[in-house]
Amino acid sequence: MDDVVGLVGRDRQLDRAEAIVAKGSNLLVTGRAGIGKSAFLRALFERARAGGRPCVWVPEGNTRSSVIDLARQVHETVGLRVPEEVIPTRWRAQARRTGRVEWARIERTVARRPSRDNMAMIAGSLKGHRALVFIESLEVPPSQAEFYAVLPDVAQLVAAMDSRNTRVRIQRLLWRFQEQIELQPLDAAASRAIAERWLGSHTVRFETDRVREAFLKAVAQDSGGVPTAIEGMLSKAATEPEVTRSSVREFTHEAGVRYIDMTPTIVVGFVAVIAGRYIARGLDSMELYVLSGIGIALFLGLRFAMGRMSR
Ligand SMILES: Nc1ncnc2c1ncn2[C@@H]1O[C@H](COP(=O)(O)OP(=O)(O)OP(=O)(O)O)[C@@H](O)[C@H]1O
Ligand SMILES: [Mg+2]
């Protein structure tokens, strides 16, 4: 969505991130699912590339495909140092003469090699180039984390990670990041600005101007400032033949609630009912005891239901 509306409401943090990158530190960008980590990294990537730094992007995906994609980008930015056996025989003489070979000519042999060898080739090629490597997601299996572990020795890193990442192997990589930026939900004005800009380039029919206004307000509030939630509401609006007052209420709420973090409320509530149980015993109050018992049952049920919903 940021390709349509631009990156909204992140200027200050982008400046901070740029300063961190300029001073040479590795940067970890964290935040909950859908908060805009990838979009933030992309914006930073564009800025750094425009500033003349060699930049490569490790996309989210399986090890094999992301390593091959990384090899291609390294080849196109700083040039891969390929072992001769990677170059098909008929191109070898030319490669020896010119010192270069086109990606299209080595792509197939590179793709056939084990990822481990390719990763070593990539690391060897990045060395000494002051390259910036952007890792779109650290939500990766251990084998992939191991490949990434060679990167901080040969390049500067910017990576995105879900705040709730519990992958064990990634820990070894995490201590290499000197700086961290945690992305917070956007404020209401930014959320609204996204919706307004988006509506500027999409045709959505509203029953009346007041409905349009109600929709924008609902987006700003119910999204909780999470761009993915905003996106959900906007695309839902686009599928309606006409957005009416009642449809606004329906779908903005539906899309929003899923992204609002209820955990603190639930924890506080749970503590309250447990405490209620003990207070009831202390006061010898049967009513309070039964009430907090029901409270506990309700909370356990709610937790179970929410666990299923978020899956
Ligand atoms: N500040 C922003 N302004 C406008 N659009 C944004 C902004 N941040 C994110 N978006 C858009 O919101 C959507 C979700 O963002 P993004 O994919 O970057 O989130 P994420 O945190 O990487 O999600 P995930 O946790 O799933 O990886 C994308 O379509 C993106 O373009
Ligand atoms: Mg992402």
Q: How far is CA 222 from the centre of its chain?
A: 21
Please choose, from the candidates 192, 184, 190, 156, the residue with its C-alpha nearest in 3D space to the C-alpha of residue 13: 184
**Could you say which ligand is closest to the alpha carbon of residue 198?**
1
CA of 230 to the centre of ligand 1 (A): 10
**Per-residue H/E/C for 47-81:** HHHHCCCCEEEECCCCHHHHHHHHHHHHHHHCCCC
Quote the CA–CA distance of 66 and 74 in Å, as a whole number: 12
CA of 34 to the centre of ligand 2 (A): 7
Q: Which residue has the tokens 């909370």?
A: 299
Whether 34 lines ligand 1, by a CB cut-off of 6 Å, is yes
Q: pLDDT at position 311, please?
A: 46
| Continuous H helices in the chain | 2-5, 11-22, 37-50, 63-77, 89-98, 103-112, 115-126, 142-148, 171-174, 188-201, 209-222, 227-239, 245-257, 263-283, 286-309
Q: Which atom of ligand 1 is nearest to the CA of 3?
A: 31
The closest residue, in CA terms, to atom 15 on ligand 1 is 36
Fold entry, domain 2-182? Rossmann fold (3.40.50)
Please choose, from the candidates 190, 238, 195, the residue with its C-alpha nearest in 3D space to the C-alpha of residue 214: 195
- The two most distant CA atoms of the chain are separated, in Å, by 93
Three-state SS at 160: strand
Whether 227 lines ligand 1, by a CB cut-off of 6 Å, is yes
Q: pLDDT at position 307, please?
A: 61
Whether 232 lines ligand 1, by a CB cut-off of 6 Å, is no
Please choose, from the candidates 80, 66, 9, the residue with its C-alpha nearest in 3D space to the C-alpha of residue 43: 9
Q: Do 292 and 271 form a contact (C-beta atoms < 8 A)?
A: no
Quote the CA–CA distance of 215 and 230 in Å, as a whole number: 11
Whether 185 lines ligand 1, by a CB cut-off of 6 Å, is no
Whether 183 lines ligand 1, by a CB cut-off of 6 Å, is no
Residue 134 gets which letter from DSSP? E
Helix axes 227-239, 245-257, angle to 10 degrees: 150
Handedness of CA 126, 130, 131, 132 (dihedral sign): positive
Please choose, from the candidates 108, 102, 98, 111, the residue with its C-alpha nearest in 3D space to the C-alpha of residue 79: 102
**Could you say which ligand is closest to the alpha carbon of residue 228?**
1
Three-state SS at 262: coil
Can you give the pLDDT of all 311 residues of the chain as single tens digits?
888 788 999 999 999 999 999 999 999 999 999 999 999 999 999 999 999 999 999 998 888 888 999 999 999 999 999 998 999 999 998 888 998 899 999 999 999 999 999 999 999 999 999 999 999 999 888 888 888 889 999 999 999 999 887 666 778 888 899 999 999 999 999 999 999 999 999 989 999 999 999 999 999 988 999 999 999 999 988 888 898 888 888 776 665 555 556 667 777 888 888 888 889 888 888 888 888 888 888 888 877 776 655 44
Q: Do 194 and 202 form a contact (C-beta atoms < 8 A)?
A: no
H/E element, 161:
strand 156-162
Give the domain ranges of the chain. 2-182, 188-257, 263-309
CA of 39 to the centre of ligand 1 (A): 5
